[in-house]
Structure 1
Amino acid sequence: MGRIHYFFISTLSLAMFACGQGNKHKNASQHEKDSMAMREKFATSPVLDGKTAISKMQFDKGLAVQLVAEEPMVVAPVAMTFDERGRMWVVEMTGFMPDTAGTGEDKPDGKIVILEDTTGDGVMDKRTVFLDSLVLPRAVCLVENGVLVATPPQLWFIENNGDKPGKRTLVDDQYAAGGNVEHQPNGLFRAMDNWIYNAKSDRRYRKVGDKWLKENTHFRGQWGVTQDDQGRLYYNNNSENLLGDYFPPGLGSKNPQQQNAAGYDEKIVPDNHVYPIRATPGVNRGYQKGVLDDSLRLVEFTAACGPLIYRGGLLPAEYAGNAFVAEPSANLIKRNLLSDSSFVVKGVQAYKHKEFLASTDERFRPTGLYTGPDGAIYIPDMYRGILQHKTYLTPYLKNEIKTRNLTQPLNCGRIYRIIPAGAKPQHKSILLNPDLLRNLLHDANGALRDKAQQLIIDHQITALVPGLKEMLKDTRQPLAQIHALWTLEGLHHLTYEDIAGIWQQPDARMKVQALATLPSILNSTNVKAVAVALDSLSNNPDLAPVVGYLLPAVSKLDKGAGAHLEDKLIKAFAHNRYVSAAVVNNATNREAVLLKQVIAWNPDTTLVLRRQLEIVLKSMANKENAKRMAELKVSLPRGYKIFNTVCQTCHGKNGDGIASMAPPLNESNWVNGNKKAFISIVLYGLTGPVEVHGKMYKAPEINGDMPGIGGSDEFNDADIAQLLTFLRSSWNNKAGKISEADIQQVRKQYNGRQKPFTAAELGN
């Protein structure tokens, strides 16, 4: 159903500690000895001030951690961004889980605050509340003369009138509809292609004139989004180190029936091991074999969030392009090394049995990572005891929180920055001077390049157009070239001639960038020339997938040219998973026809393209149950609501499962089989591996554990019974009703159970 996410943290239970002492004996195993020692060493989690907390951190030699802000200057920060004056705009989610029942969680006490360093010493000394009275705000983004703010379920654009909120425009009333706090869109990341992308979302946004555009995009991540120098997006989910895209983010997602398109949502760093420097038994499955090592340290990610591709230019050169990931449950920050081979990006952890930064302070909860205008890495630290939402809070966790008094305090929060030891970087203000902004497109700090591009577009500084076109021709400055290209696109002054010029250059990466801009300039006048160029470029295997993703745009203006190009790609790359995914993306509402054509051309059942089309057709057949689902919404309203707020975020809206998250519910032998086993799973959880549809699912293909909701105060037994009946009646499922009495019977049988079941225990 749901999963444990970046919010999920608890701490060592004193009750467990006492029990452990009672069992101590001379012949205790090494595991027991190590566990006892760690429990004794980290028996308490005192609240530390910011500077003391830094002393509990271990980090790379040659670097330094500085305190930028702490309470009361900032409280419970979960997201942030910088403006052109170097000021921080910080999201404070102060209302998150005031206690284990979430009492008062809907209280409007969240804020968007502006933090400023007026003395130049790197420490924030001025706080301005821009917006208050918000319920669980989660993201902020600066655009033109205003601020995008995500407050579930709405997304608002609020004009900035001298650091005071002005006119409000509702951008999306369904931005974060459905799901719970852990499963709602966030990020609002303004990417290189001038669109704003999100984590835990398949929507992107863009302001053009007085209008806000909203488009479908690939579903990405869970908490936080970042980009590399090529504008490719990276993200993660709670149990996976780093996921990301091989291709520009604006391509694809044109076929609503297609899921998991190759080249998007790829596993960039498959190694999910973590190496905390303190005991971390207070994770959801801390009592389960393999979750903790002999010294009670977390073994693999359980709360990965807030990734950052470092492009700041301040840290030593070996950090350039590295991927950093926060893990608040283990009180650490991971460093990964990335490398390119053709368009494929792969990564490995930078160290073995060591972290870039780790703390012995259990309340250190990094929620994200950001590059500042000074080139430093900034770390918002929520500094909380409870970080697990009530929906998935188990009795085990409630006991730990109670015995260790982790509910309080609720008024803490810190922001740190990582710099070279001895350095004194200054916050840089960016003047709205055309020449200065153009020069910043060459800056070593990617954050400044991004901000310069955004300011030129936001203020429509068209006087720079001639100079930007000259920058496109300068192959000695590839990063400035990319920014010049997308700045021209944002100013609506990019032409086909500009793009054609880039295609004559040798750099394949620049050709990909030029291809990605094509949809914004393609028209009936230039489509013939474009088709000819794409025909030539498609001969290159490294460019063919990107060409394939342009088929919908070309076909819309010239069906013949699109059909010719599609046929060429099929016959040359039907075994290529990336090109095949692009072809399927172009096949909306004609998947069956295309499959027949492919089989007629080549009956090989192993063709990658054939298999991908068959998967889409099966998914389409499942979606024909929409009318039935609408009827269930009326007859089982509570079950429908719980499914949409808890289950669908991992198992998918259509019950077909989500890669890297959870297996299908549709036609699942567990959903349709023994109702006692199904009830047990929902109440107490299930730990993998698990077989569904004859396929074995296990980590890391999916999250290894599904938490139960039987201990949640949100749902009574009647609610859970209706949810299970809903699931057993949805899509192609045709199983019997489950009653409240059925739920109570299972609770009685397993009274006192906390740990999840295994498939073998349930014997389904």
Structure 2
Amino acid sequence: MTRTYYLAVSTFLIFLIACGQSRQPHVAKDSLAVQGDFAASPVLDGATAIRSMKTDEGLEVQLVAAEPLVVAPVALTFDERGRMWVVEMTGFMPDTSGNGEEALDGKIVILEDTTGDGIMDKRTVFLDSLVLPRAICLIGNGVLVAAPPQLWFVPNENDRPGKKVLVDDKYAAGGNVEHQPNGLLRAMDNWIYNAKSDKRYRLNGHRWITESTVFRGQWGITQDNQGRLFYNNNSENLLGDYFPPGLGGKNPHQQPIAGYDEPIVSDNRVYPIRPNTGVNRGYVKGVLDDSLRLISFTAACGPLIYRGNLLPATYHHNAFVAEPAANLIKRNILSDSGQVVKGIQAYTHREFLASTDERFRPVGLFTGPDGALYIPDMYRGILQHKTYLTPYLKEEIRKRQLTLPLNCGRIYRIVPAGTSPVARPLVLQPDSLLALLSHPNGMLRDKAQQLIVDRHLTVLVPALRQLLRSTQYPLAQGHALWTLEGLQALAVADITMLLQGPDQALKIQALAALPGILNAGNVKTMTGALDTLINNTTLAPVVAYLLPAVAKADKAAAARLEAQLIKTYARDRYVAAAIINGAANREASLLEQLKAANPDTTLALRRQLEKALTTMGSQADAAKMAALRQNYPRGYHLFQTVCQTCHGKQGNGMAALAPPLNESEWVTGNKKLLAAIVLYGLTGPVTVHGKVYQAPEINGDMPGIGSSDEFSDADIAELLTFLRSAWKNKAGKVTAADIQQVRKQYNGRQKPFTAAELGN
């Protein structure tokens, strides 16, 4: 795998900073001795860095690309020629203050293997002068590029950018680089989904469509063989959806939604093979163990449901998660009941891949056309964004000289030991693409579906319909269904045929595709089928999600279906969520109807309706919020960039992230306690309105921003004043002098508070 440019890179790195060999940690030593062993953090060339990694027996890590061919990769995808399109976020945190982060140095590059050995050797810059780009999606004759705050479509004209088209000017408005939309996953249902976002996108001819969907995740998003989405946040191993992605998210008053954003793997422990003192809250008890290794996820990202065919069959449909703060990749084994998906960690006290190299920063995971598991590695010292960077971590960065270099980056792949697979160009003839819909590599099935839709190969419609009826390979049937949908050739007969078949998963996908073709001419036929499916407890929630589509074609039929679902499933949390999904602005009348029929206060439907009504009440304060935004512009800006990404736009908290700010006694009570929390952070369980919030229901730690160079005391005071007046909160102002008094009171403090310390 050695190339001339690797030698050149190694020479450059040696010139920049002395390289050293990795060492195994000595767990038996005390913490001071361990710190001494890892006092330095040498820069390793790509080949040496592999020797610092451990992975499963029978597998090996191969270097596919390294600097200067690629720098700071954060996302990648493959085109039909087997070429790799890579997003380079070169400007991320040039130093601990983030100076120069707004530089126009981000790029979209194309990497190519011209010699057929599986190793990239050619670099083409497709797009440059970007500020912190984070995601890419190939579609049609071009590429979607997420370069905050906009989302652009850029035509590809012989590997040169054409005139770009603005798709969404507010794609990543608000938030900071750790909390802005990303992912751009082109899912099986032909829509493009994102992490840290409640929007989805689709190209219809020459027109881009944007729709609301469920809010999902933080960094990275993936799908399984049924097109269900999986994601995570920085402290959660794996979250995901039980139901098809396009069904939920229609009611803006509904949060959370049962069956979406569910914890899939609740075990968040990690097992690094080196000390991890360079994590943001390494000084807090319970973050590191006695050997100074990270105990639980703190930077989980880039999840992947492995659907390839190159690794042994035991890895198929496993969920892999990157943890760059601990220099490792987690493997989880999933189980599927037909509705609920759950998982466990694949190993006890070890990881799928772990490195002793502190600069190994895997930030995403992808399946290649060769079936290999690909890993973009930013390869740098600083991982934490400036907004939350603690003085402790700044000192760790200084001691081990982690700021430089900034011009490194690697892409690895994991393959069976001794193999050298190659990503071959696809044959683009219609019959060849059709055959790929049955390929054992899910990435190639996805690509074939996308190419058929993009090229509008309607000549394949008869063959697709034949494949849809072939029960030999259910996965191919699913792709045939959605390819027909993408070609706008799906018919009611196609849906009916699948609904009458034996495969439960295909029935769910058929129901998910139904809204696109349901109309006044076929609604009676389809509602007859839905009446029968209601009796199936697994399918009933999916039927309930179809109520808005049915209502558009036949309001009476929708009302009848809804009444039957309420009568039968008022206790079912998933059916309840689906009913409320289609009841926007009808929640109050629906609740009264339910009370009249059944006074039981414990019904899942009743409880969820009451939550939705609470959210509606907070949204009614729009005029008040507009005035607050005008009166406290800096406070509102900080809320957008720092707070709302976890506490929600309406301040009502978010599942798996943070508790409410709206009507919280912590916000409206003692302003100095609130200031202390915002300056220094809060860890552990917290009680709001008598309810105890703790991990995994929320993130166990709220970082403070008091050490950030971005915010003055006046800025923080304005933020707190905004929060204490927002929504239903009614509390007094906070001044810069108040913030200064709190800083003086807790001078020298670094660690976050607990609720007990604050006497609450």
Per the TM superposition, whether the score is higher than 0.5 is yes
CA distance in 2, matches of 1:124, 1:469: 39
Aligned to 2:465: 469
CA distance in 1, matches of 2:422, 2:633: 56
Aligned to 2:251: 255
Counterpart amino acid of residue 220 in structure 1: R
CA distance in 2, matches of 1:760, 1:498: 60
Aligned to 1:459: 455
The reply to whether residue 630 of structure 1 matches residue 632 of structure 2 is: no
Aligned to 1:114: 110
Q: Of 596, 603, 610, which residue of structure 2 is paired with 1:600? A: 596
CA distance in 2, matches of 1:683, 1:280: 24
Residue by residue over 1:74-98, the C-alpha shift from the partner in whole angstroms, topping out at 9 and shown as x without a partner, is: 0000001000001000000000110
Q: Of 505, 508, 516, which residue of structure 1 is paired with 2:504? A: 508
The reply to whether residue 38 of structure 1 matches residue 34 of structure 2 is: yes
The reply to whether residue 407 of structure 1 matches residue 410 of structure 2 is: no
Counterpart amino acid of residue 667 in structure 1: E
Verify the 8 A CA contact 2:93 2:382 in the aligned structure 1: yes
Q: Which has the higher contact order (CA 8 A, sep 6+)?
A: 1
Structure 1 position 393, deviation (Å): 1.1
Aligned to 1:520: 516
The reply to whether residue 384 of structure 1 matches residue 380 of structure 2 is: yes
Structure 1 position 401, deviation (Å): 1.4
Structure 1 position 424, deviation (Å): 2.0
Aligned to 2:581: 585
SS in 2 for 1:391: helix
Verify the 8 A CA contact 2:283 2:392 in the aligned structure 1: no
Shift >4 Å, 4+ stretches: 30-33
CA distance in 1, matches of 2:592, 2:508: 31
CA distance in 1, matches of 2:591, 2:678: 39
CA distance in 1, matches of 2:607, 2:616: 14
Aligned to 2:546: 550
CA distance in 2, matches of 1:254, 1:488: 24
Verify the 8 A CA contact 1:63 1:419 in the aligned structure 2: yes
TM alignment of 1:265-344, pairs within 5 A? 265-344=261-340
CA distance in 2, matches of 1:395, 1:252: 42
CA distance in 2, matches of 1:88, 1:240: 29
TM alignment of 1:1-40, pairs within 5 A? 33-40=29-36
CA distance in 2, matches of 1:748, 1:345: 50
Aligned to 1:133: 129
Aligned to 2:9: none
CA distance in 1, matches of 2:248, 2:629: 32
The reply to whether residue 539 of structure 1 matches residue 559 of structure 2 is: no
CA distance in 1, matches of 2:252, 2:666: 28
Structure 1 position 301, deviation (Å): 0.4
Verify the 8 A CA contact 2:687 2:693 in the aligned structure 1: yes
Structure 1 position 36, deviation (Å): 2.4
- Could you tell me the percent identity over the aligned residues? 72
Structure 1 position 33, deviation (Å): 4.4
The reply to whether residue 153 of structure 1 matches residue 149 of structure 2 is: yes
Q: Of 679, 697, 700, which residue of structure 1 is paired with 2:696? A: 700
CA distance in 2, matches of 1:245, 1:683: 35
Residue by residue over 1:292-347, the C-alpha shift from the partner in whole angstroms, topping out at 9 and shown as x without a partner, is: 11101101000000000011111001001100000000000000000111211110
Q: Of 183, 186, 207, which residue of structure 1 is paired with 2:182? A: 186
Q: Of 670, 675, 695, which residue of structure 1 is paired with 2:671? A: 675
Structure 1 pair 743–387 and aligned structure 2 pair: CA distance change class (3 A): same
Structure 1 position 253, deviation (Å): 1.2
CA distance in 2, matches of 1:247, 1:662: 24
The reply to whether residue 394 of structure 1 matches residue 390 of structure 2 is: yes
Verify the 8 A CA contact 2:154 2:164 in the aligned structure 1: yes
SS in 1 for 2:210: strand
CA distance in 1, matches of 2:315, 2:120: 26
Aligned to 1:741: 737
SS in 1 for 2:757: helix
Residue by residue over 1:139-194, the C-alpha shift from the partner in whole angstroms, topping out at 9 and shown as x without a partner, is: 00000100000000000000000000002110000000111111100000000000
**Equivalent residue pairs, number:** 735
Verify the 8 A CA contact 2:257 2:577 in the aligned structure 1: yes
Aligned to 2:20: none
SS in 1 for 2:155: strand
Structure 1 position 37, deviation (Å): 3.0
Structure 1 position 697, deviation (Å): 1.0
Structure 1 position 290, deviation (Å): 1.1
Residue by residue over 1:201-232, the C-alpha shift from the partner in whole angstroms, topping out at 9 and shown as x without a partner, is: 00000001010000000000000110111111
Structure 1 position 32, deviation (Å): 9.7
Counterpart amino acid of residue 186 in structure 2: R
CA distance in 2, matches of 1:546, 1:484: 20
Q: Of 611, 617, 623, which residue of structure 2 is paired with 1:615? A: 611
Structure 2, unpaired ranges of 5+: 1-25
Structure 1 position 387, deviation (Å): 1.1
Residue by residue over 1:346-378, the C-alpha shift from the partner in whole angstroms, topping out at 9 and shown as x without a partner, is: 100000001000000000000100000000000
Verify the 8 A CA contact 2:152 2:167 in the aligned structure 1: yes
SS in 1 for 2:162: strand
SS in 2 for 1:166: coil
The reply to whether residue 499 of structure 1 matches residue 495 of structure 2 is: yes
Aligned to 2:415: 419
Counterpart amino acid of residue 316 in structure 1: P
Structure 1 position 698, deviation (Å): 1.2
CA distance in 2, matches of 1:440, 1:338: 26
CA distance in 1, matches of 2:305, 2:721: 45
Counterpart amino acid of residue 288 in structure 2: L
CA distance in 2, matches of 1:375, 1:433: 22
Aligned to 2:72: 76
SS in 2 for 1:296: coil
Aligned to 1:56: 52
Structure 1 position 41, deviation (Å): 2.0
Residue by residue over 1:442-476, the C-alpha shift from the partner in whole angstroms, topping out at 9 and shown as x without a partner, is: 10100000000000000001111000000111111
- TM-score by length of structure 2 reads 0.96
- TM-score by length of structure 1 reads 0.95
Verify the 8 A CA contact 1:32 1:294 in the aligned structure 2: no
Q: Of 109, 120, 123, which residue of structure 2 is paired with 1:124? A: 120
The reply to whether residue 727 of structure 1 matches residue 751 of structure 2 is: no
Structure 1 position 417, deviation (Å): 0.4
CA distance in 2, matches of 1:566, 1:443: 40
SS in 2 for 1:37: helix
CA distance in 2, matches of 1:113, 1:702: 38
Aligned to 2:18: none
Structure 1 position 289, deviation (Å): 1.3
Aligned to 2:235: 239
Superposition CA RMSD, Å: 1.0
Structure 1, unpaired ranges of 5+: 1-29
Verify the 8 A CA contact 2:144 2:152 in the aligned structure 1: yes
